[in-house]
Structure 1
Amino acid sequence: MKDLNRLKVVLAEQKKTGKWLAEQLNKDTSTVSKWCSNKMQPSLEMLMKIAELLDVDIRELIISTKH
């Protein structure tokens, strides 16, 4: 799958772990791991929750299509 999200980068920038995010969202750590490695993508609704938790604009979590 093509890299579509920047979740791993944003978590690293904020010194947070996938385990922390999984606990906040009540999700399995393997699910969050798949999101971070771009093997799977979170739904838009879930991406909004993640953006809220990390206090970032949702666009910061998505790889830009314009360079």
Structure 2
Amino acid sequence: MNRIKEVLDKKGIKQIWLSEQLGKSYNMVHSYAQNKRQPSIENLYKIAEILNVDIKELLISNKTDQNTK
């Protein structure tokens, strides 16, 4: 799962702009933002670079509180 939509909203950036910067169709970026498809690791790094964020900000952790067992 990713947080691309949340990061775009937080930064006030439109999906169409990201699609142009990434060289992908709007439909593909929209699918990423809606979590219908997941970008490859390579594309995730490109998205992080374009948005000027740490790649970790684009991902939802697979771990809950690590102090809870």
Could you say whether these structures have the same fold, taking a TM-score greater than 0.5 normalized by the shorter chain as the test?
yes
Aligned to 2:34: 37
Q: Which structure 2 residues correspond to residues 1-67 of structure 1 after superposition, within 5 A? A: 4-67=1-64
Q: TM-score, normalised by structure 2?
A: 0.89
Asked which structure has the greater CA Rg, the reply is: 2
Identity of aligned residues (%): 50
- 1:65 positional shift: 1.8
Structure 1, unaligned stretches of length 5 or more? none
Large movers: runs of 4+ above 3 Å: none
The CA RMSD over aligned residues, in Å, is: 0.6
Aligned length: 64
